[in-house]
Amino acid sequence: MRLYIILTFAVHLLRSSVAEQIKDEYHEELFIKPFNGYVYTYFQFSTVWETELKNDTFDNCHLFPRSLGELIQRHSVQELHVSMTKGLWRHETWGYPVKPASPGAELWAWFKPETVDVNENWKSLTGALSGLLCASLNFIDGTNTISPRLSLRPSGVVMADAPQPHLRYATLPREIVCTENLTPWKKLLPCNLKRGLSALLNSDHIYNTAYHSLGIHFRQICLDKDCTKVGLELVQTVSLVYDLAIVGRFQSHWSIQRFFGQGLGKTCPLAKTSKIIVDVTSNKTDNQFTLRPLKKFNFVTSTRSGISTTLAILDMSSHVSDSLYNIEVEYSRKKMYPVNVPPFVYASRYITGYGQEFGGITTKIHNRFWQAQKVILLENIPWFVPTYLHSLKVKHGDRDIKPLKIEYKPGKDRERPFYLEVLLEIPARSVVTVSVEFDYAFLKWQEYPPDANHGFYMGSASVTAYLPSARNYTAPPRDKTLFIDSINASRIGYLVRVTTETLIITLPTPDFSMPYNVICLACTVVALAFGPLHNITTKKFLVLKSQKKGLIRELIGKAKQVLKKDKTASKEETPSSQGESDVTSPEKCAEHEKSE
């Protein structure tokens, strides 16, 4: 017993000493926002560590996951964004997510300016991340990586006079996200899934959603206004959108219990704050709802650039007992169909044309704002979909719009994708279509995947805009870390990145049972062709005058001929035959005929 006390004491000492050395903190947040028949739940687990990014920073970690830290250190990464997503974020009905993510896996990283071989580091990093997250990120290579110049900017701190860091961006639209990605992801959390908000992430329930996305975002930040103190920030996110028609069987009533299969328990002891934020703005509309337990919530009105939202905040650390508790929302009426307010800028993308001759990709960008908006469209088109820049058309109705800037790098077969970035201004309250034509390339037969007829994926495009209004905008400002910091955080503009649909293209696909047939056919043709070709090349030809004969006489003549041949054959058995070579045989035949 005494030994135990001493041991625990020692551990406590050790821990506190480490904690004194390492100034880091961990926060847990859950943001819930009900939409039109859907409920968006967003988990954010943030680790902020006051230190500089040096070559030995991650030798000693406290709350920061060391496995990830080592990757960052080894590959001289300055900023890293990974997301793995199932489903498509429906901007038109759901507004903007806190962290945008394209369907499938999306990865981009900024490497330190002094990095020697960026491509080598990128390849190695994707390989390591693939192992860390159990995802097929190792399929990222030169053939699907681009370095966008306009759309993506470092979100963290960059020294003003320092050289630009190197960017690499890639998507794997076909990547399927499931529990095998969640398990390694949760191991990066200080409390794992055992305590706190993360305990809600039970794979039985969270894959029942219309959209779910895992994200890891690492960057360098300033810890004060003058940036005298810098720090590292790691934000791990889970975005889930529940479909009430499926989860609640058309009942508009929802609760934590119903979504996650369990109630809320104790907070993670390592977390400095644990908060649940419910967006109750829609309560002002006709269909009222009651939030329970109401008393525990603290209501705050947040105004950002004139758009005010009402947030109900619950501090989980105020709940001291061991018992589980629930958060429920009950509506006054059974069904609700509030009018949908689409966000200002959103986009959709589709393939035009049919057959496998010509095709086109059309991206429709909507601007519902009362002012013209500048947006950047980023297209990452795989090499097997050769596009033509001359066919790029930007149209508003029948009117052509001249892009302000075009960045284009043509692809190369089996080497690099087509990269296209267009900066354009969309007139107020209008829809602009950006279309580009492409060919369907022929692949080599080994390049087809086992399910060749499924089609080939083309990653989603993204539209980046700097909106002057915060309507439908949820993300915290770039200079803050926590979601709670977004309250009353008005800025000049709000950066949104809208991701579009991934596309499936049916390339000309051979019938893979065909090679067998082809081999058979080719062999037959060769066999049939060989005889006549051999004859042609080895025999001499003479034109004979044909004689018309009746069928019966012909037959008799043939029979005679056969008989004669037999005789000559028997003669030829003797070694000294007449020495007639094969070449003269047609002549001989002709002579025979004449003699007849």
Partner 1 sequence: MGLLTDPAGLRGRQVLVNNHGVICGALYLASLIWYCLLASDQVNTATYLSENALLPGLVVLSSDVSTDTKNYLKELDVVMKDSNRIPTSWIRGKFTQMSIESYVHNFTLNYPLGRGQQFEGKNVYGIIRGGGSSTEAIVLSAPFRNEDSAYPSTTASVALLLAITKYFREQKYWGKDLIMLITEHEQLGMQAWLEAYHGTTCGSKGVLEAGDLPARGGSIQAALNLELHSTKMKYIDVKILGLNGQLPNLDLVNLVHRICSKERARHSFGNREKVHNLPPKEQFLHSFFTMSSMVLGQATGVPDGNHGLFHRFGIEAVTMEGHEADGTGPHITLHHVGRVIEGVFRSVNNLLERFHQSYFFYIMTDTDRFVSIGYYIPCVGMMVGALLIKAFSIHVSLRGNIDDSINSKNDYNTGGVFITIMICFVIGLVAFQVPIFFTRYFPFAHNFPTEKAVLCGFLIISLMGLTTVEILTKVLGPREWALLNIATLLYLGTMLLAVSMSNFSLAFLASIFIVPMALIVGSKVPRILRTLICLMCQPLFLLAAIIAASNFYHFGDFERTGPALAESLVLTSVDTLVYGATSQVIPILAYTPGWHMAYVLCRASWKSQKPKKD
- Does 362 help bind partner 1 (rule: CB under 8 A)? yes
> In angstroms, how far is the first alpha carbon of the chain from the final one?
127
Nearer Cβ to partner 1, position 245 or 428? 245
In the list 34, 65, 100, 103, the residue contacting partner 1 (rule: CB under 8 A) is 103
| Residue 250 in contact with partner 1, rule: CB under 8 A | yes
Select from 22, 23, 25, 36 the one that contacts partner 1 (CB under 8 A): 36
Site string for partner 1, 47-86 (x = CB under 8 A): --------------------------------------xx
Q: Does 90 bind partner 1 (CB under 8 A)?
A: yes
Is 562 near partner 1 (CB under 8 A)? no
Q: How far apart are CA 504 and CA 12, in angstroms?
A: 56
Tell me if 111 contacts partner 1 by CB under 8 A. no
**Can you tell me which of 7, 14, 246, 428 binds partner 1, judged by CB under 8 A?**
246
Residue number, 350 or 408, with CB nearest to partner 1: 350
Specify the stretch interacting with partner 1 by CB under 8 A; choose among 107-115, 198-206, 237-245, 318-326.
237-245
Q: How does DSSP classify residue 33?
A: E
Taking CB under 8 A as the criterion, the residue among 225, 545, 573, 579 binding partner 1 is 545
- Minimum distance between the CB of residue 554 and partner 1, rounded to whole angstroms? 7
DSSP string, 124-179: HHHHHHHHHHTSGGGG-SGGGEE--SSS----S---TTSPPPEEEEEEETT----H
317 part of the interface to partner 1, by CB under 8 A: no
Q: Which residue's structure tokens are 């004449």?
A: 594
Sequence-ordered list of residues with C-beta below 8 angstroms from that of 115, at least 6 positions apart, any chain: 76, 121, 166
Interface with partner 1, residue 516, by CB under 8 A: no
321 touches partner 1 (CB under 8 A) = no
Q: Which is nearest to 376 in space by CA: 493, 467, 496, 463?
A: 463
**What would the DSSP string read from start to end of 450-519?**
TTGGG-EEEPPPEEEEEES--TT--PPPTT--SGGGGTT---S-EEEEEE---EEE------TTHHHHHH
Tokens of 388: 């033509």
What amino acid occupies position 487? I
Near partner 1 by CB under 8 A: residue from 529, 559, 569, 583: 529
DSSP 416: B
By CB under 8 A, name the one of 13, 245, 520, 523 that touches partner 1. Answer: 245
Q: What is the DSSP code string of 191-232?
A: TTTTSSGGGG--HHHHTSSSEEEEEEEEEEEESSTT--SEEE
The residues, any chain, with a CB within 8 Å of residue 52's CB and separated by 6 or more, are 230
C-alpha span between 486 and 481 (Å, rounded): 9
- Nearer to partner 1 among residue 52 and residue 554 (C-beta): 554
| Residue 457 within binding range of partner 1, rule CB under 8 A | yes
451 binds partner 1, rule: CB under 8 A: yes
The answer for residues whose C-beta is within 8 angstroms of residue 26's C-beta and 6 or more apart is: 45, 46, 47, 63, 190, 268, 270, 271, 272
Min dist. Cβ of residue 542 to partner 1 (A): 7
Judged by CB under 8 A, how many residues of this single chain contact partner 1?
Answer: 61
The SS3 call for residue 438 is strand
| Min separation Cβ 540 and partner 1, Å | 11
Q: Which of 22, 351, 406, 487 binds partner 1 (CB under 8 A)?
A: 351
Residue from 7, 14, 18, 504 binding partner 1 (CB under 8 A) = 504
Encoded tokens for 596: 């007849």
Residue 93 contacts partner 1 per CB under 8 A: yes
| Residue numbers at the binding site for partner 1 (CB under 8 A) | 36-37, 85-88, 90, 93, 103-104, 173, 208, 210, 243-246, 249-250, 335, 337, 348, 350-355, 360, 362, 451-455, 457, 501-504, 506, 509, 511, 528-529, 531-532, 535-536, 541-546, 548-549, 551, 554, 586, 589
